[in-house]
Amino acid sequence: MQTRNITVIGAGIVGITTASYLRRDGHQVTVVDQRPPGEYCSFGNAGILSPGSCVPIAMPGILSQVPGYLLDPLGPLALRWSYLPKALPWLLKFVAAADVKRVEKIADGLRALLSQTFDAYAPLVKNAGVEDLIHKSGYMVVYSSRKAYNSDALGWKLRRDRGVVIDELDAAGVKRRLPGLSGDYEVGLFLHDHGWCANPERLTKSLAAQFERDGGKILQRKVLGIDVGPDGPRALRTDAGDLPVEHLVICAGAHSNEFSSQLGDPLPLEAERGYHITYSDPRFQLPMPLMVPEQKCFVTPMEMGLRIAGQSEFAGVNAEPNYARADVLGKLMQRMFPGISDVDATKWMGRRPSMPDSTPVIGPASRFGNVHYAFGHGHIGLVGSAPTARLVADMIAGRPPRIDLAPYSPGRFSR
């Protein structure tokens, strides 16, 4: 295998796992990021490692649900109306993806990728000495009523049809598994073979530190643009001068299309902003994460305390956070864990790099063989990063793909 000089833009979980897999192949790898590793979207996610997350966000019927969500100030979805004209092309593609036949295909692609998560993370976390961060004991999904559960029937069918092992529980079963949870939940689903990471920031930083110990380089620079020649990128223009490049991998999260556009691939990527609150209150702990689909959020036992994470806000990548969205999560938390103390609780906003079909872009640029894309993981960037990284390393090494790569093709929106 030919070893190369490879530059990765982005030190989030996708960039760091990709750089780690490339380094394992013997390439000279440099990661460039304006921030230290793991301090953007990969900092504060819910930590869920869900090999069965094969259900796209845009499902049949979404169009009838959106107005209700938007009109509910405590709902899980928000749109800054001034941003609507900019978001519209993406939203139209999002709605177009919510087609019955299309969601079956999307689910196939997501399941093929995400089912590899624990296997793909294993060598990286072992090498970095952070196996303690990965828990594999399943998680719970709870519905307040059977009616609400039934309204998600297609999503559960998509999972079950693809081999996800799920136990259905009644209200007593939910209470037995989650004794600390208040409120009445008529239906619970326990997902086997799922898990979580107890600190996504520490995971990214630990893998980054190991990558450097293994001979990789991390440069803290803002990339301002790409100097593109007839054969592809020649240099990155950065705030500390030009950086020559031979082979480029773009993992810049919600900013990736700024770079792919310069390379001739203006891909539909939107910053889908989410929020979290992390409570250090030790009186409440959970034995496993909990998902509440009606409010589209997760509560996860982190090593720092309990974290509730969720919300989808479309306001543009650079708009200031609106922590009223986090307060919506705070109210829900008070209902589920009455009296939980918010002393020392921290709030955070992150930008999910979301594609309209909930599927990441993994593959070569349309015009240049020396550029690969690995971005657009939306809600599944933690669970999807290590499998993505291994695929990118396989592509660059010329090894036969371990799964069908068509679902992730960067060209799928131009057909």
Ligand X SMILES: Cc1cc2nc3c(=O)[nH]c(=O)nc-3n(C[C@H](O)[C@H](O)[C@H](O)COP(=O)(O)OP(=O)(O)OC[C@H]3O[C@@H](n4cnc5c(N)ncnc54)[C@H](O)[C@@H]3O)c2cc1C
List the x/- string, 357-386, binding to ligand X by CB under 6 A: ------------------x-xxxxxxx---
Q: Which of 117, 39, 75 is nearest to 297 (CA)?
A: 75
Phi, psi values for residue 299, rounded to 5°? -120, 125
Q: Which of these ranges, 11-19, 85-93, 104-112, 132-140, lies near ligand X under the rule CB under 6 A?
A: 11-19
- Shortest separation between residue 357's beta carbon and ligand X, angstroms: 15
Q: Assess 326 for contact with ligand X (CB under 6 A).
A: no
Contacts with ligand X by CB under 6 A: the residue count is 41
Contact status, residue 372 vs residue 363, Cβ threshold 8 Å: yes
Residue whose tokens read 């790099």:
353
- Tokens coding 413: 């929106």
Is the Cβ of residue 108 or residue 258 nearer to ligand X in the bound state? 258
Name every residue whose Cβ is closer than 8 Å to that of residue 321 and which is 6 or more positions away in sequence. Answer: 273, 275, 349
Out of 13, 97, 340, 393, the only residue in the binding site for ligand X (CB under 6 A) is 13
In order, the DSSP letters of 261-297 are HHTT-----EEEEEEEEEE--TT---SS-EEETTTTE
Beta carbon of residue 298, minimum distance to ligand X (angstroms, whole number): 6
* DSSP-assigned states of every residue in 237-253: EEBTEEEE-SEEEE--G
The verdict on 35 binding ligand X (CB under 6 A) reads yes
Closest to ligand X by CB, 170 or 276: 276
Which one among 20, 21, 33, 91 touches ligand X, defined by CB under 6 A?
Answer: 33
DSSP result, 67-134: HHHHH-TTSSEEE-GGGHHHHHHHHHHHHHT--HHHHHHHHHHHHHHHTTHHHHHHHHHHHHT-GGGE
Nearer Cβ to ligand X (2/318): 318
Piece of 58-66, 134-142, 248-256, 392-400 that binds ligand X (CB under 6 A): 248-256
Minimum distance between the CB of residue 44 and ligand X, rounded to whole angstroms? Answer: 6
Stretch that binds ligand X, among 74-82, 91-99, 245-253, 263-271 (CB under 6 A): 245-253
Report residue 181: phi and psi, to 5°: -90, 125
- What gap in Å lies between CA 333 and CA 182, rounded to an integer? 10
Query: Which one among 6, 10, 51, 247 touches ligand X, defined by CB under 6 A?
Result: 10
C-beta of 145: minimal distance to ligand X in Å?
25
Identify the residue among 22, 41, 158, 393 touching ligand X (CB under 6 A).
Answer: 41
Give me the least distance between CB of 95 and ligand X, in Å please: 21
Least CB distance to ligand X at residue 301 (A): 13
Residue 128: both structure tokens together: 């970095």
Asked if 220 and 34 count as a contact pair (C-beta separation under 8 A), the reply is yes
Residue choice 6, 189, 252, 288 for contact with ligand X (CB under 6 A):
252
Residue 51 CA neighbour count, 13 Å, CB half: 23
Please tell me whether residue 274 binds ligand X under the rule CB under 6 A.
yes
362: which DSSP letter? E
Site map 44..83 versus ligand X, x via CB under 6 A: -xxxx-----------------------------------
* Burial class of residue 47 in the structure, from the number of CB atoms within 10 Å of its CB (0-12 exposed, 13-18 middle, 19+ buried): buried
Residue nearest to ligand X (CB): 381
Tell me the window of 28-36, 129-137, 327-335, 362-370 that interacts with ligand X (CB under 6 A).
Answer: 28-36
Q: Pick between residue 169 and residue 308 the one whose CB is nearest to ligand X.
A: 308
Q: Is 410 helix (H, G, I), strand (E, B) or coil?
A: helix
To the nearest whole angstrom, how small is the minimum distance from the Cβ of residue 233 to ligand X?
14
CB of 363 to ligand X, least distance (A): 15
CB of 18 to ligand X, least distance (A): 9
Question: Phi and psi (nearest 5°) for 263?
Answer: -100, 10
Report the interhelical angle of 153-161 vs 100-114 (nearest 10°).
Answer: 50
Residue 251 binds to ligand X (criterion: CB under 6 A): yes
- Give the nearer residue to ligand X in terms of CB position, either 48 or 340: 48
In the complex, the residues that contact ligand X under the rule CB under 6 A are 9-15, 32-35, 40-42, 45-48, 222-223, 251-255, 274-276, 298, 309, 350, 352-353, 375, 377-383
